[in-house]
Amino acid sequence: MAANQEQKEFFGPIAALIGKWEGDKGMDVSPEKEGDEKSPYFETITIEPIGDATNAGEQTLVVLSYVQVVSRKDTGKVFHHQIGYWYFEKATGDVLYSLTIPRAVTVLARGKATLNGPKTDISVKADAQNKNYGILESTFMSAKASTRSFEMSVSVYENTLSYKMNTGLHIYGRDFAHTDENTLTRRVLAHL
């Protein structure tokens, strides 16, 4: 389910993301009261074309949706679930990435895509201080497990996607770099 030529023209650099991706080499580093916990994981990320959105009659965004389902390797249980959109604005070259997770945290991050030959590199970031590309969280999370920053870089080369995320938390009275990374393969449907 990689992008066809028509989708590449329509969605620009984010077309490279379209597909159903699977990977079992994930590593999560998350906060504990004392120290951290490292959890190997497997996951599926499904990224689908949506279409375009016109804002105030002036701005055109092309949009993909995604669902990311992440499971702990030792138990097989889902321990992270994330949904959102990828956006590309041709006029500015901006790439936007939104995410919502079940902890009642939402992020809108901004960045750029770079085409390096056959490779597409995208990086986006958000900061709690930024009014536009920022973070919204519940009152509880804000008081006890606050997300202060978010950064992600993604590279796609043919049917391989790798990403690194760094979520800057303030939890248990200290700053903590909550990180996640994985390499996934696009599941290509066999031709009959």
**C-beta of 31 vs 49, nearer to ligand HEM:** 31
Nearest distance in Å: CB 120, ligand HEM: 20
Q: Which residues lie near ligand HEM (CB under 6 A)?
A: 28, 30-31, 39, 41, 70, 79-80, 99, 101, 103, 105, 107, 141, 145, 147, 150, 165, 167, 169, 171, 178, 180
Return the number of the residue (11 or 97) whose C-beta is nearest ligand HEM.
Answer: 97
Helices (H), the chain: 5-11, 139-144
User: What is the nearest approach in angstroms of ligand HEM to the Cβ of residue 9?
Assistant: 31
CB of 40 to ligand HEM, least distance (A): 10
Give the nearer residue to ligand HEM in terms of CB position, either 62 or 137: 137
Q: Are 106 and 135 in contact (CB under 8 A)?
A: yes
- Here the tokens at position 115 are 């085409």
108-to-14, 23, 98, 132 alpha-carbon distances in Å: 16, 25, 4, 7
Neighbours of 112 (CB within 10 A): 14
Distances in whole angstroms, Cα of residue 77 to Cα of each of 15, 132, 164: 30, 34, 22
Q: Are the C-beta atoms of residues 11 and 64 closer than 8 Å to each other?
A: yes
Q: Give the residue with the Cβ less far from ligand HEM, 64 or 105.
A: 105
CB of 112 to ligand HEM, least distance (A): 20
